């Protein structure tokens, strides 16, 4: 295999990884939006519950509508999480996904400490 072929293969692999990362990023942004909608509905439901405890009557359909909105958001979040998991499974061997929180050594590029007697990665 010539150096040009290896270079072309490397670029193709890099492009695939970049597209996968972009797709996962889009899904994660959508997941944040869905969770925010769910949190807002839960907050509103809490306010209604508080007002009812204080003796203020709630609109008849408000609790049901908010409960339905939370359930729909939970279902959408589950679908998005499944899509993210599916994308991670499709990744090529040797490609590590970022941790859920995105703040571990793999996400920051920091090397993990090696134990005594082990050689550092890449050595």
SS3 letters across the chain: CCHHHHHHHHHHHHHHHHHHHHHHHHHHHHHHHHHHHHHHHHHHHHHHHHHHHCCCCCCCCHHHHHHHHHHHHHHHHHHHHHHHHHHHHHCCCCCCCCCCCCCCHHHHCCCCCCCCCCCCCCC
Whose tokens are 């508080």? That residue is 50
Total domain count for the chain? 1
Tell me, what's the pLDDT at 13? 87
99 in a structural domain? no
Whose tokens are 């359909």? That residue is 61
Q: What are phi and psi of 83, to 5 degrees?
A: -65, -40
Tell me, what's the pLDDT at 71? 97
101 in a structural domain? no
Length of the chain in terms of residues written: 123
122 in a structural domain? no
Q: Show the low-confidence residues of the chain (pLDDT under 70).
A: 92-123
41 in a structural domain? yes
Per the structure, the complete domain to which residue 56 belongs is given by 3-91
Per-residue pLDDT tens digits for 15-47: 888 888 899 999 999 999 999 999 999 999 999
């Amino acid at each position: 295999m010539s150096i040009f072929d290896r270079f072309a293969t490397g670029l193709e692999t890099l492009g695939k990884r970049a597209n996968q990362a972009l797709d996962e990023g889009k899904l994660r942004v959508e997941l944040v939006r869905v969770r925010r909608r769910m949190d807002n509905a839960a907050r509103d439901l809490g306010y209604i519950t508080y007002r009812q405890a204080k003796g203020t009557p709630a609109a008849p359909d408000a609790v049901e509508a908010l409960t339905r909105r939370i359930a729909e958001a939970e279902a959408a979040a589950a679908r998005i999480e499944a899509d993210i998991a599916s994308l991670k499974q499709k990744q090529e061997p040797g490609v590590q996904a970022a941790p859920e929180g995105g703040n571990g050594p793999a996400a920051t590029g920091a090397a993990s400490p090696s134990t005594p007697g082990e050689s550092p990665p890449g050595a």
